[in-house]
Structure 1
Amino acid sequence: MEYYTINKFAKIIGVTPQTLRNWDRNGKLHPHHTSSNGYRYYSEDQLNAVTGIQLAPKKIIGYCRVSSPKQKDDLERQVENLRTYLYAQGQPFEIITDIGSGINYKKKGLQDLIRRIESNQAEKVVILYKDRLLRFGFELIETIAAIHGCKIEIVDTTQKSEPEELVEDLVQIITEFSCKLQGKRAHKAKRMIQELVGFDSDDKVKQDTAAPEQQAED
């Protein structure tokens, strides 16, 4: 069961933390428990009772990622393997797929996954390999998930050697910056072409305008 701090519980039900303190004192609503340092915590059952709404059950969410559209076959294999694993657990699940670099935090699928974790929709996130979630920053997402009562499960926990991880990280970084550099070059080339086309067009207009005058002089 999930527990909420007084600030979070107050925000969800639309009152102030001071209102909850008053309710505690006058017996209208006591916290589920109070920690040794005096912090009040409220339960999910209390939230349901106060709002009169039964929250949707949390889901198990699988996450699969590849770095580029050229790896769609690999993405399909990931999905199939993860689906087989999750079916064996006998619980409802859904799978989010993503295409993008392991050091790109703005991927659509990753953003969707984080939103679901933060809105308490995810009971557990399952990935085949640790680096499928993120190349850097896995621990950050893991901490965010833990705060919201969500676990991250890695199917293949085979540990790579430090040299292997270092090489893979360097390759990922070089690939990412190479793509950005190529993108900048492509943009620069496009601008140069546009300027060149504009220059040619202006010259042509000038030539066409000057032609009658030259013919008249002749």
Structure 2
Amino acid sequence: MGLLSIGKFAKASGLSVSTLRRLHATGELVPCHITDSGTRYYSQDQLDSLTTPERATRMGDKPAVGYCRVSTRAQKDDLETQVSNVEAYMAARGYQYSIIQDIGSGINYDKQGLHELLRLINERQVSRVVVLYRDRLVRFGFELIEYLCRLNDVTLEVIDHTAHSREQELSDDLIQIVTVFANRLYGARSKRTRTLIGEVKRHADGQEDTTAADQRTGDAVS
């Protein structure tokens, strides 16, 4: 088998490119061949020596972190299932990992777990972030966190790219959005605010006819 470029070696070994460069600088893992232009190449024997997670960890690779979130405490069973799936995914790939669990809306960014995750990314303490679905990370702004990961040489992995949002969770997020904007427009104690939020809640719960609810919502904000 021929020599492996640093990119192919990183993918096959589970070590990040930045880690390989650091190991080269410290002399812990020196490429078997370096071209005049500075391109690094590694051998199959070197790859074979790094096939276990324990060996990779000793060589300085950073752990992965799984992020799992549900909207309410009533979804405890869903959270446990989510954690189990993420752990199984990371264990099957030999990742050294930890799990961050969060409870709160996907449009609420003031959550302890999310803050901890962003800190780990920003301080480059993890090699990758693993989530089951995109919307388990955040409802809006996924691309921004993805960009932050790229800036800090952190891989963001989504296990299942299928759209996954329970109807109730979407309804709760919609109510929260309407509440924020209604409070800003009319004030938190305004009758218009209470009426508008009440109509949105009833519409989301399916308690009234859609057409009638839309008409009253229009009257409330006109």
Q: TM-score, normalised by structure 2?
A: 0.52
Q: Structure 1 stretches (4+) deviating beyond 3 angstroms? A: 43-49, 54-57, 167-170, 177-181
Please list the CA deviations of residues 123-179 of structure 1 after superposition, one character each: whole Å capped at 9, or x if unmatched.
11111101000000000000000011111111111257xxx89x8896243232477
> Alignment RMSD, CA only?
3.3
CA 1:71 to 1:47, structure 2 compared with 1: closer, same or farther past 3 Å? farther
For residue 159 of structure 2, the aligned residue among 152, 155, 158 is 155
- The aligned length equals 137
**1:91 aligned residue:** 95
**Alpha-carbon separation, structure 2, partners of 1:110 and 1:139:** 15
For residue 123 of structure 2, the aligned residue among 108, 119, 124 is 119
Percent sequence identity is 41
**1:69 aligned residue:** 73
List gaps (5 residues or longer) in structure 2.
Answer: 1-16, 28-57, 183-187, 190-222
Bigger proportion of residues as helix: 1
1:108 shift after superposition: 0.5
**1:2 and 2:6 aligned:** no
Partners of 2:62 and 2:127 within 8 A in 1: yes
**1:133 and 2:137 aligned:** yes
**Alpha-carbon separation, structure 1, partners of 2:25 and 2:104:** 38
Any residues of structure 2 matched to 1:182-193 within 5 Å, and which? none
**Alpha-carbon separation, structure 2, partners of 1:48 and 1:133:** 36
**1:173 aligned residue:** 173
CA 1:158 to 1:93, structure 2 compared with 1: closer, same or farther past 3 Å? same
Partners of 1:102 and 1:172 within 8 A in 2: no
Amino acid at match of 1:2: S
Q: TM-score, normalised by structure 1?
A: 0.53
**Alpha-carbon separation, structure 1, partners of 2:26 and 2:157:** 28
Larger Rg: 1 or 2?
A: 1
Any residues of structure 2 matched to 1:38-77 within 5 Å, and which? 44=22, 57-77=61-81
